[in-house]
Structures are given as C-alpha cells and as structure tokens.
Amino acid sequence: DQQVKQNSPSLSVQEGRISILNCDYTNSMFDYFLWYKKYPAEGPTFLISISSIKDKNEDGRFTVFLNKSAKHLSLHIVPSQPGDSAVYFCAASLNQAGTALIFGKGTTLSVSS
Amino acid sequence: ETGVTQTPRHLVMGMTNKKSLKCEQHLGHNAMYWYKQSAKKPLELMFVYSLEERVENNSVPSRFSPECPNSSHLFLHLHTLQPEDSALYLCASSQVLTGGEKRNTIYFGEGSWLTVV
C-alpha cells in the first residue's frame, strides 16, 4: 500500500506558465515533506521541503503548499522553464531521527518553449 | 558534484557472479541509505545505517548484503541476483537531527545502473 501517491505520471506545461505537481499521503504521522527533482541518469536532487507546522514554503520560483486536513501537498513552479523538465518526486518522513524518506512514484514534467 | 559518489556507475553481471556497489559521502553525514529504483515504481528503501548501525532493513532478499565500515562508506554486496533485480541503485546520506527545516533531507549519489543477465 503506497503511503505517498503522485497520481499524475506526467504533466506538460508551456514555458512561462505555472506548473502544479500534486502529492497525497495516507499516514497522518508524517510531519516533514520534501520534493526532489531527477534528471535522466542522475540521482534525485533536493528541491524544497516543508514541515507540518507550516502550510507554505517558498524558495524562488518554487513554492510548496501543505494541506494537512486533506493530506495533500503541491509544488508550484512559476514561471516554468524548459530546464525544469525532469521527474519530480514527493517524499515524506516520520518524526523519528534517522527515519528514511518514503517516496512517491514521481511525475514527469515537460516544459515546452 | 553532489557530495555522494557511487561506483561503478554501470554494472552488468551474471546471475552467478558476486559483485559490490560502493558509495562514499563527503558531507560529514552520519546516516547512509540504499534505495532501489525500478521502472514505474516508487523509490524503494532497502537499508538504513545510522551512526554505522543498521536501523532498517525493508525485507530485502539476502542476496543483497550491505556493509557500512564507517560513516563515510557504504557497500552493497551482490550475490546470485535475478534478472528482476536489474535497476538503478541509489546511495544517499543525511545528517540525523531532530527538529529544524533541514531534518532528514537526504542527498543522493548519481546511482549505479545494474543489469543482471
């Protein structure tokens, strides 16, 4: 049973528009959430995170929103750029030191110019 | 350069071979991980070492054997693998902390592509 779900395997967006990537989770004990970006033939790279005490965290063009009641988080990229084309993974963590992350299956974002 | 280095980047092995994947982190972290990425599946956690002690083993078959000789190095020993074990194996590290925005942020290596023939 998947605890972290990314229900959209792919998303296509035009350059300059907003990209919205969604993620749902089932375990209410998760209290820290992260987004990773992955290019082909490379390992995932950390993008942005949010703890459960917040509902929004912003870093440049990237904003993550957390809705705890809905167990839903989203990543907004605005404006989208062709270099943003990659696979985006949502991940969640329990409130235990040393606990590894639980990942979703990923969403492939394609930004066309 | 991610601070986590994996070798080899590509490995082809027969089902009767014994090989090892190596990971080294230069970030001063105290926890290391092995993840497996298969096509169209979530990243699967295989092993966690925190402070050089194994703290999690997600029902991984015994043909995969991890070794963590120190906080900077992690190995995955492979023996009598199956073709379905072909995947991208990712090593990662983190600094185990409690609290704070950077808690449990994991940094990945570029992965080792394994093909079992």
Choose the closest CB to B110 out of A2, A43, A105. A43
Choose the closest CB to A49 out of B31, B40, B105. B105
Amino acid at position A22, single letter:
N
pLDDT, mean of residues A25-53: 91
CB pairs under 8 A between A and B: 71
Contacting residues of B for A105, CB less than 8 Å apart: 40-42
Amino acid at position B94, single letter:
S
**Where does the pLDDT of residue B98 fall: very low under 50, low under 70, confident under 90, or very high at 90 and above?**
low
Contacting residues of A for B53, CB less than 8 Å apart: none
Within 8 A by CB and 6+ apart from A54, the residues are: A66
Contact B103 A51 (CB under 8 A): yes
| Structural contact between residues A19 and A88, judged by C-beta atoms closer than 8 angstroms | no
Digit-coded pLDDT (tens) for A1-26: 679 999 999 999 999 999 999 999 99
Min Cα separation B55/chain A (Å): 8
Q: Which residues of A42-51 are buried (b: 16+ CB within 10 A; e: fewer)?
A: ebbebbbbbb
Choose the closest CB to B43 out of A93, A98, A103. A103
Backbone dihedral angles phi then psi of residue B109, each to the nearest 5 degrees: -80, 180
Whether B61 shows a pLDDT value over 70: the answer reads yes
**Where does the pLDDT of residue A97 fall: very low under 50, low under 70, confident under 90, or very high at 90 and above?**
low
Contact B98 A97 (CB under 8 A): yes
Note the pLDDT of residue B12. 94
Contact B105 A51 (CB under 8 A): no
Closest CA to B89 of B69, B116, B71: B116
